[in-house]
Structure formats: C-alpha cells, structure tokens
Amino acid sequence: MQTWELIRLRCVRDGEPIKRVARELGLAPNTVRKYVRDLSPPGPPRYERANRLDPFAEVIDSLLRAEPRITAKRIGTLLRERYDEDLRISPSTLRKYVAACRMRTVAPEAFVRALYQPGDQAQFDFSPMRAVIGGVDLELDIFAMRLSYSAHFFARAFLRCDRPALFAGLLGALRYFGGLPNVAVFDNAKTAITKVLRGRRREQNAEFSAFCGALALEVVFAAPAKGNEKGGVEGLMGYIEDNFFRPIPSFDRLADLNATLERFCTAELRRIPSTQTESVAELFARERPHLRPLPERLPDPCIRTYARVNKFAEVTVETNRYSVPTRLVHRHATIELSDERVVIFVDGERVAEHRRAQGKRQAVIDPLHYVELIARKHRSATRALAFAGERLPKPLMRLYDRLAERDEATATKTWTAILRLALQSSLEALTVATEVALARGTLDPEAIALLLRQRDQRVALPVLDLGDHAPGPARRAQDIDLAAYTIANLVECAR
C-alpha cells in the first residue's frame, strides 16, 4: 500500500491525529497534511536538467519574435555562426527546445470555420508531387480545384506550372463539374498576376484576365502568405499526396496517370467529410444545380506570343526551337502555346504544328520542312540537323545506305529527290512505298513514285448489295465419284 493511501485511510477514514501518524510513519506533519488535502496521489519527482541551449534562450526568443516562421535548423546554424562555433546538440533536442520557446514567445493563431452556400465558391492551386513516368522519376505540378460547399474536387498532373497548364486545368475542372461557381479563390502566383497592389487589389496579366473574362469567372486572390484563406484546397493537396502519390506511382504515360487520377476523384464522391453527415456525392447533387452553365464557346487554353523566323527556318519559344517551312525565313510568326502543342501561324496561315518540348534549349524539327531546301543543296543532306537523330524513319535511312553502296557520288541527289515525294503525299506513305521497293530489290525513284501513286490512288471496291434481288432457284452441285480417279483408271485412260 502506498504511503499516500495509508495516510488517507488513517487520517481521513479513521480520524487519527496528524501528528501521531506523522511520528509513526517518520514524516513531517506538513507532509501528512499535504497528503490529506490532495485528492490524487503524488507523481514521481521531476528534476530540471540543464540544457546547453539555456544560455541562448534570450537570443532564440528574439529570433522568434523577429521571424515567427524561422526553423529550428536555421536557429541552430545562426547560433553556431554568431555565438559558439563548437556548439554540439542533436537536431531533435534543438527542435524540442525551439518549440517550447515558440509556444512561450509566439502566440498561436486561431481561425474561424467558414460556411459556404451551394455554388458559392471554389478554390484552386498547384502543388509539386513526384511520380515515375516512362521509367523516369519526375516532379510534376498537380492542379486541383475544390468546390467549397460539397468538397468535390478535380485534379490533373502537368509537367510544368505555367499559364497554359493553368488554363487547361481550369477548363478540365469546370468541364468535370459541369458548371461554374460564383467565385474562385487563387493565390498570388505569377501565372495570374503581375503585381500585388494595396489591400485586395491585384494587377492581373492580360492572358489570365482575358481567359477568365471569356468564362465570366470572377477570381479573387488570397492575402500574401495567408494559405488559410484557401485552406480547403491546401488541405486537399496533402490528402491527394497521401492517398494517391504515396508510395510514388508509376505509369507509362502522363495521360495514364491523369486517367487514373480522375477515377480517384470520382471514387472520392463516396467519402463523408469529417464535418458533414452526408457523403460528397449527396452534397454535390445539391450543389450541381447552383453552378452556372458553361459558355457555348470555351476559350482556348493557350497563350499567344510572337517571334521572328531565323535563317535556319526556326522560331524560338522559351529557349526551345521549332521548325517552319524554309520559304518563311525572316518572316514574323504568331505562336499559340498550349500545354502540349505549339502551333505556328504566318500571315494568318497555319504553317506548322509541333509537340511542345519538355526541357530547355531543345530542337523540335519536322524534316519535311527542309526537304525542298536540302534537295537543292543535296550535299548537306548527310550532316543536316533535320535528318539527324532518327527524325527520318529507318527504311528511308536504309534507302540512303543502299544508294551510297551503289554510287556514292549521286546518292544524296537521288535520295533527296525521293524524299521530295513525301511533300505530295506524306512521310508515312513514302516510308511504306520505300519498304516495298527495298523488298523488291529496286532503288529507282520512278519505281518508288509509282508505288506511292498506286497506294494513294487505291480505292475500295463497292460492296454489291443483293438485298433488292429475288432469290433464284436452289442449285445443287453434281456429285463426283472419286473412285474413278484411282491410279489404275488413270493409267488406262492415258493409253
């Protein structure tokens, strides 16, 4: 039996004098009185241990007052740089000590839970997350939009976080929801604004303003460094990372990831939010009629920029070079830049379309843009960038090797003449005709041109419709006696 319990029984239950109990137990009378007053047993003794950071307590407090969000690691670095370069302390001890100082020095902030009406508000944002695409570990930018009333959300992965990706994400989300909220909340990203003005006013960039104007979508911006003003989508990003991107997923293509991510968004309709008694599907069914209908004509998710075609028949967009037909050198071009494609116009005519390069300082070249020029300068064919790096199909490269084996002096001239045939048809059709020619053992340009014309002019035979014809009388084939074809009979007939 514990001493505390024994004292309670003798003094409280049995009414024995405190001094007698203290004398018999060898305790001070004040100790016995304390145990009689206390309704809970005494805890183990606590000993305050000296900490190596105690001499720096005032310094740490001043750093926290000046910058409340400073990390414990940074505080440790500053202490070593400014006060004691030999300070040795474990990271966990440093974090615990700074956390205690932070609680004492920085008053914690309280927040007000908001209440939303159906169709009232949506929040959207980007956040980086990792995934393996085609065997390569990439950091993707995940766009997400969340309806504040129903908590229904949409997410899509992009290779970059720029205006075309923002526009594509917004259009994808609005199509997925089937309508527009009254207001959407975003942060102060450069993809949307060019300058933060006083108060809530912002100077939006022209492309973002035009895109939202075409949708009739009002976008308001959170205060700088105030993520709680769009806390719904901030928390959603952590939820998506925990439940979809951990462990790191692997897909063959980015499109496969996005298809799976959209199915994940739809499956989450069954979830019941922690602050609700109904599922997301039930809440969204109530919110869906309050969303405004989408415009009949949606804006293109692209931005337009301008460039001059250089002497190599290339335009440069964000350090990457894209080819155009060589007849357009030194002309001014308009470029429509979307998340996946680059479309180039000259004098209103669409002259080229390319996949958008994913890195920096890359060349995206269409070899057909250079065929006419190289046909005139055929000696440059073997070193031309337009034909390098497997830009031409392998059958066409084998054709050049065969031509060079036969006559190296005329090989490039003959080869470029054959390549010009693709301008009247297509590179794919020329590749097929070349494969047939090589299989038949011919290198003649006229033969390849004939094969190409035969392929292009091939038409499907009309199907004979017998539905309107009356059926004729049934006919039965004559039975044949196979026994008449024995060896003996055949020999006899031969005589």
Query: DSSP letters of 217-240?
Result: -EEEEPPTT-GGGGHHHHHHHHHH
Alpha carbon separation from 234 to 3, 121, 123, 410, 441 (Å, rounded): 54, 15, 9, 66, 65
**DSSP H stretches of helix in 143-299:** 163-177, 206-215, 231-243, 254-267, 280-287
Q: pLDDT tens digit string along 258-287? A: 999 999 999 999 999 888 889 999 999 999
Mean residue pLDDT of the chain comes to 87
Q: What is the CATH number of domain 123-290?
A: 3.30.420.10
- Report, as an integer, the average pLDDT of 50-75: 85
Mean pLDDT of 280-308: 94
Query: Could you give the CA distance from residue 36 to residue 3 in angstroms, rounded to a whole number?
Result: 11
**pLDDT of 236 higher than 80:** yes
Strand duo 302-308 + 363-364: pairing: unpaired
Evaluate if residue 482 carries a pLDDT over 60: no
| pTM of the shown model | 0.73
- Residue 192's pLDDT band (cuts 50, 70, 90): confident
Joined tokens for residue 301? 């998710």
pLDDT of residue 47: 56
Rank 5-9, 36-40, 154-158 by mean pLDDT and report only the highest. Answer: 154-158
Q: Record the tokens describing residue 147, joined without a space.
A: 């309806």
Dihedral over Cα of 221, 226, 231, 237: its sign: positive
Grade residue 147 by pLDDT with cuts at 50, 70 and 90. very high
pLDDT at 49 over 70: no
Average pLDDT (355-383) is 91
Residue 301's pLDDT band (cuts 50, 70, 90): very high
| pLDDT value, residue 369 | 94
pLDDT of the residue at 474 = 56
Cβ pair 295, 216 in contact under 8 A: yes
pLDDT tens, 389-437?
888 999 999 999 999 999 888 889 999 999 999 888 889 999 999 999 9
Q: What is the mean pLDDT of residues 371-376?
A: 91
